[in-house]
């Protein structure tokens, strides 16, 4: 499995992906889940994937083929790029879906595509296994794919369209840390990419390993502060809660000692 998050902000885009791939507890490997299509002055498109590795790699390969009329190097808008990704998914399904079903394998994949092409604004799309997709807007400025549930709460509390890029990158790393702690199917190294609006080139990129000083400081500080905040919260005030005589949902069953 994997965990990827992409954010569309007023000042640009943030992308973060892990690189864990596993087919069981004894088959764990590192596979990059982020692919960057950059032609300076023309486009920066970032594609992240989750799901069946054979499917996602086949789709990514199709999108990179220079011989294809429609690929991520030739599309004239990010929305058209999302359509091309969707069609590549359906093409792989037409080719491999039947045989996968015969062997009891699910055709499972999802993609995040975001970036900017000269002449339009930054855009971000979430593309599903059926090839259909949705776009991020101000009300929902981020997408997650893979093991997203563990890292979602911090994003809901922090990320808005007005969030600065470096703050959003920090939030993405904390979201990833929560996921790493709770799910062994997500693992390092991490790929972090920040794109500044209208720059038309990758602004910042880092590969984060387990010995990365900054990420380790985030993990340590965040854990300490969470415990500190937890300890500062008052214990339950039982006087203000319903008493045993007023349980509203279920019925009490009391057995006397002489029964």
Domain parsing of the chain, residue ranges: 3-230
177/214 Cα distance (integer angstroms): 12
pLDDT > 80? residue 28: no
30/22 Cα distance (integer angstroms): 9
Burial of 178 (0-12, 13-18, 19+ CB in 10 A): buried
Confidence of residue 249 (pLDDT cuts 50, 70, 90): low
**Which is it for strands 204-208 and 3-9: parallel, antiparallel or unpaired?**
unpaired
Q: What integer pLDDT is reported at residue 251 of this predicted model?
A: 59
Contact 13, 195 (CB under 8 A): yes
CATH architecture of 3-230: 4-Layer Sandwich (3.60)
Q: What integer pLDDT is reported at residue 245 of this predicted model?
A: 64
Confidence of residue 18 (pLDDT cuts 50, 70, 90): very high
241/244 Cα distance (integer angstroms): 10
Tokens for 10, please give them. Answer: 């007023």
74/89 Cα distance (integer angstroms): 18
Confidence of residue 29 (pLDDT cuts 50, 70, 90): confident
Mean of the per-residue pLDDT values of the chain: 91
Calculate the CA 187 to chain-centre distance. 13
pLDDT > 90: what percent of the chain? 78
Backbone angles phi, psi at 217, to 5 degrees: -70, -35
Closest CA to 47 of 110, 107, 104: 110
pLDDT > 90? residue 107: yes
Mean pLDDT of 35-63: 96
Q: What integer pLDDT is reported at residue 183 of this predicted model?
A: 87
For the stretch 113-134, pLDDT in tens is 999 999 999 999 999 999 999 9
Q: What integer pLDDT is reported at residue 244 of this predicted model?
A: 61
First to last CA, the chain: 54
For the stretch 157-199, pLDDT in tens is 999 999 999 999 999 999 999 999 998 888 899 999 999 999 9
Which region among 80-84, 96-100, 146-150, 254-258 has the lowest average model confidence (pLDDT)? 254-258
Mean pLDDT of 98-104: 94
Mean pLDDT of 210-227: 93
């Amino acid at each position: 499995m994997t965990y990827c998050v992409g954010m569309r902000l007023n000042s640009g885009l943030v992308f973060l992906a892990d690189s864990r791939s596993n087919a069981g507890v004894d088959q764990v490997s590192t596979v990059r889940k982020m692919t960057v299509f950059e032609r300076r002055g023309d486009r920066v498109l970032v594609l992240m994937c989750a799901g069946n590795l054979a499917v996602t790699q086949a789709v990514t390969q199709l999108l990179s083929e220079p011989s294809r009329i429609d690929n991520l190097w030739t599309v004239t808008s990010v929305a058209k790029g999302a359509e091309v990704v969707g069609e590549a998914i359906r093409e792989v399904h037409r080719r491999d879906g039947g045989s996968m079903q015969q062997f009891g394998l699910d055709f499972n994949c999802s993609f995040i595509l975001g970036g900017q092409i000269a002449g339009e604004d930054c855009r971000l799309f979430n593309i599903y296994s059926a090839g259909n997709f949705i776009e991020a807007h101000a009300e929902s400025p981020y997408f997650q794919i893979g093991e997203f549930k563990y890292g979602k709460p911090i994003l809901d509390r922090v990320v808005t369209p007005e969030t600065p890029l470096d703050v959003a990158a920090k939030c993405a790393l904390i979201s990833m840390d929560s996921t790493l702690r709770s799910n062994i199917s997500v693992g390092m190294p991490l790929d972090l990419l920040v794109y500044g609006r209208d720059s038309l080139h990758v602004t910042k990129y880092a590969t984060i390993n387990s010995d990365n000083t900054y990420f380790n400081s985030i993990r340590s500080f965040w854990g300490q502060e969470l415990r500190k905040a937890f300890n500062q919260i008052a214990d339950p005030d039982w006087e203000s809660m319903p008493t045993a005589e007023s349980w509203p949902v279920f019925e009490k069953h009391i057995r006397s000692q002489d029964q």
